[in-house]
Amino acid sequence: MTSLIILTLIFVVFIILLSLLVKRIGIKLLFPITFTFLSIGLFIMSFIVGGWGGMGLGAVSISLFVASLIALIGVVILYRVSFKGS
């Protein structure tokens, strides 16, 4: 269980850092949304793979989904804070 939490934190940091590389808010929000759809695709693929490998893929996809939602909230909050500070 702790490995999934660590994986989720790594995904959150990666998505937020990737979003901070661009200037416009539209593109900043595009990265977490893209990872959300990617995680949904991986979750569907986990049923096709099946077995223990499918369960592992499903766990990673759920971790990525949660991380992308957290990163989306974080990017919006960081944008609001930096926008009010300017």
pLDDT per residue as tens, the chain (86 positions) = 888 999 999 999 999 999 988 888 788 889 999 999 999 999 999 999 989 999 999 999 999 999 999 999 999 998 888 777 55
Q: What is the pLDDT of residue 85?
A: 59
CA atoms of 45 and 59, how far apart (whole Å): 12
Tokens at 71, concatenated:
């990163």
- Neighbour tally for 31: CB within 10 Å: 22
Q: What is the pLDDT of residue 79?
A: 85
Tokens at 36, concatenated:
């959300």
